Chain A
Amino acid sequence: MSSNVLARRSPAASWFAENGALVALVVLVVALSLLSADFLSVTNLLNVGVQAAVTAILAFGATFVIVTGGIDLSVGSVAALSAIVLAWTATSAGLPWPVATAVSLAVGVVCGLVNAALIAYGKLPPFIATLAMLGIARGLALVISQGSPIAMPDAVSTLGGTFGDYLPIPVVVMVIMGLIAAVVLNRTYPGRAMYAIGGNEEAARLSGIKVNRQKLITYALSGAFAAVAGIVLASRLASAQPQAAAGYELDAIAAVVIGGASLSGGKGRALGTFVGALILAVLRNGLNLLSVSAFWQQVVIGVVIALAVLVDTLRRRGTN
């Protein structure tokens, strides 16, 4: 009889299976540095970091939601709305920038809370609730800005710059948000509750976890992360644009899933999401360097997402 190879794999093999995304990233980097002389330069790599930052920050927020077994389609719109609110309160309403920033973060949190309320109390499926918010937040951004960009306050725009001569601030913000996400997921009560809820909501409830309240926290966090992402994006462009970050929610979800999270909940790590976001950014950057047309880039990225999830599913089937 045939022997079952998967059941008897070595520790090294199982490490590779667990960290498939990381392995893929390394392979990608090696391949691109062989194919393109420009890829491995410091400037280019920092550029990749900046490219990854907004997606990664959104994706960290989306990780919370996906771990609970939900989905948040509104993050791109919420990012745009938060940035518009910041720019508008600072310029048109003339509030000092720290206040404007606080208001902007609050807007992100409120959007998340509304999502969660619809889901937890209104019993809407997360897909529908956040799809509605995707429209609402985008619409509000357009209403407030009357459809045109608003300049960001200078103090906030420095977020788009660099520390010293090199280190881009968006990269720093990304790393900080990633660390926050990792700590929340691994160490805090809400984080651990997210895994329990995503793994088995009924068991979580019967273990005394207040599921509805934890969902409020989860979506609020996602909203807050979206606001930060929106501010970083607007700072880079020095203006808040109502159409900014459109479609970014899909990149965020893709990053989370490539990073090994399961859309059915209970699985996902901040580090994985980070790697997922980097894979997307490296791929885009590499394809640009190799002068692949933007049209083909979309095809390649679609294929990569499918492959990532396929490999993951096969791996799971192997262990069961």
Chain B
Amino acid sequence: MMSSDKARTRAHGTEILRAEGLRKGFPGVQALDGVDLTLRAGEVHVLLGENGAGKSTLIKILSGAYRPDAGRVLVDGQPVEIRGAGDAQRLGIATIYQEFNLVPQLTVAENLSLGRPPRRFGLVDRKRMIEQAEALLDRVGVDVDPRTPVGRLGIARMQMVEIAKALALDARVLIMDEPTAVLTTGEVEKLFAIVRQLRDDGVSIVFITHHLEEIAEIGDRVTVLRDGRSVAEVPAGTPQDELIGVMVGRPIDQQYPRQAAGRGEPLLKVSGLTRTGVFDDVSFEVRAGEVVGVAGLVGAGRTEVARAVFGADSYDAGEVVVRGRRLPKGDVHAAMEAGLGLVPEDRKGQGLVLGADIGENLGLVTMRAATRAGFVDRAGQRGAAAKVAEQLGIRMTGLDQEVRTLSGGNQQKVVIGKWLVADAHVLILDEPTRGIDVGAKVEIYQLVNELTAAGRAVLMISSDLPEILGMSDRILVMARGRLVGELPAAGTTQDDVMALAVTEVEGSRVQ
């Protein structure tokens, strides 16, 4: 439908883009310290590296968002200067950023045609804009009304819109920074189908992911970054252990080190929770010492239920009881007093104060408890923050670094960290390891083990099925706003979960 003639005619395998000796420093860190990358026509080139290794910085240089301090970029063998999005577009480079570049107040259609809306007699041609948007959304296979404001979409749908937006540019080089971090299996499949199609058309794709199993499936070659240097270029078929070895510098024996704790009292009881049109009659309980996983497709209502339980949104019927106390609707503060915590899925919009520093963000939840006679014990808070930052291995110049300037994975560690210091009885994690590298994931799972061993409980929503299967004791599956089943983690396969997740729900009032 929308293929580029330029790309078509280019022989597969010829070198399209090359980066040599790229260096880029920020105050206090050398983000890139000598990076080389070669990109051939019609290949999917995976960039692999720990959180903060410099992957996003590298692609921001290729897309013109940053200028390198040293090194050069060649396109078709010619040295080029990429000064901004305009230059990148002229060179045929399109980018899907890790932190989305969408305007939340504008509709999906407006976002898709941002900067170059179809015009008629000099005025924006709304009808055509909607039609074009529909075609693009159709292509990525996501079911949203182009007239919806982007701010109302969940994080996964935003990601699909972001992908559609990049496709509209019809580029020769498509850079994707962790596109699968927030997607469920079904959407990942759709995305991979698109990527394969583009690759066959001769488009070169730079693909960043922390999901190692995706590498062999979609990739051709892998460039590994470590501490701002490109340390290896290997075929995508390289075994995972080896990839981890090059990337982290040490082996990881167990990716999902769940240690089940004894089951105790029910800490959280949800019954008949309903919000008309969103979720319907959801009942479950979570006991002390348990990790309960929640699986389901995007749009199944998992996040919505979690937010309602935590008091972030209201609901129409049902009740939430935490440690024997019935919670008032829509009251976050009461939920926290009762011992609930929520790590939200949207770190930028709901989890972080981007302009504040790391210490400040890590202390946000415990600030009330650290207040005596109106005064906040900031030294104590700093101390606690330093400890968590150390535990999670947050890569930073110091606690006073602005969170905005952290790498995506390190930002995610801050969101989780602020709840770890809070010591909640029931911690709800919504896509907790989104964008976190394999090594750090294991650290987080260990902390989950520690929590449950101490008699706390965790309710974990995740679109990462291996994670759900590997870390939960029990799995709840949601589809179309209903709880459609419960599976024990032992002996359950990804297919079992998916079969339930796509259930057509009889009589569900949720579309």
Contact = CB atoms under 8 A, between A and B. Distances in A.
Contacts of B350: 200, 202-203, 206
Interface string B347-381: 00111111110001000110110010011101000
Contacts of A187: 375-376, 378
Given A1-B70, A188-B376, A200 B367 contact: no
A205 B352 CA distance: 11
B464 to A, nearest CB: 22
Given A188-B371, A195-B360, A199-B355, 15 more contacts: A7-B27, A9-B27, A186-B378, A187-B378, A188-B375, A188-B376, A196-B356, A203-B349, A203-B364, A204-B353, A207-B367, A208-B336, A209-B368, A266-B355, A267-B355
Which has the most chain A C-beta neighbours within 10 Å: B71, B81, B342, B375?
A: B375
A193 interface: yes
B354 A193 contact: no
Which bracket fits the contact residues of B?
35 or more
A3 interface: yes
A189 B374 contact: yes
A196 B374 CA distance: 16
A199 B69 contact: no
A202 B350 CA distance: 5
B352 A208 contact: no
Contacts of A189: 367-368, 371, 374-376
A267 B24 CA distance: 28
Nearest to B68: A1
B48 to A, nearest CB: 26
Q: Which of A1, A190, A202 has the most B CB atoms < 10 Å from its CB? A: A1
Contacts of B26: 7
B67 A4 contact: yes
Contacts, number: 99
B333 interface: yes
A291 interface: no
Interface in B54-76: 66-72
B460 to A, nearest CB: 17
Most chain B CB neighbours (cut-off 10 Å) among A208, A266, A319:
A208
B188 interface: no
23 contacts: A4-B66, A4-B67, A7-B25, A7-B26, A7-B27, A8-B69, A186-B378, A187-B375, A188-B376, A190-B374, A192-B360, A196-B356, A199-B353, A200-B354, A203-B351, A204-B364, A205-B332, A206-B350, A208-B336, A209-B368, A266-B355, A266-B356, A320-B405
Contacts of B81: 1
Contacts of B375: 187-189
Interface in A271-320: 319-320
A190 B373 CA distance: 11
Contacts of B374: 188-190
A189 B376 CA distance: 6
A206 B344 contact: yes
Nearest to A213: B333
A92 interface: no
Interface of A: 1-4, 7-9, 14, 186-190, 192-193, 195-196, 199-200, 202-210, 266-267, 319-320
Contacts of B353: 195-196, 199-200, 203-204, 266
B418 A192 contact: no
A187 B367 CA distance: 11
B344 A199 contact: no
Contacts of B169: none
B364 A196 contact: yes
A196 B352 CA distance: 9
A1 B354 CA distance: 31
Interface in B181-237: none
A14 B371 contact: no
A264 B367 CA distance: 23
Contacts of A199: 353-356
Contacts of B25: 4, 7-8
A209 to B, nearest CB: 8
A170 B77 CA distance: 70
A206 B342 contact: yes
B72 A1 contact: yes
A165 B357 CA distance: 46
Interface in B21-57: 24-27
B69 A4 contact: yes
A266 B25 CA distance: 26
A2 B356 contact: no
A224 to B, nearest CB: 15
B467 to A, nearest CB: 23
B312 interface: yes
A3 B411 CA distance: 27
Interface in B136-186: none
B228 to A, nearest CB: 14
A204 B351 CA distance: 8
B70 A207 contact: no
B349 A202 contact: yes
A161 B122 CA distance: 66
Nearest to B81: A1
A2 B82 CA distance: 12
Nearest to B73: A1
A141 to B, nearest CB: 32
A200 B27 contact: no
Contacts of A8: 25, 27, 69
A315 B371 CA distance: 34
Contacts of A9: 27
A267 B354 CA distance: 12
B367 A192 contact: yes
A4 B67 CA distance: 7
Contacts of A188: 371, 374-376
Contacts of B333: 208, 210
10 tightest A-B contacts by CB? A199-B353, A207-B364, A208-B336, A189-B371, A200-B353, A266-B355, A207-B365, A199-B355, A3-B69, A188-B374
B387 to A, nearest CB: 19
B347 to A, nearest CB: 9
B332 A1 contact: no
Nearest to A186: B378
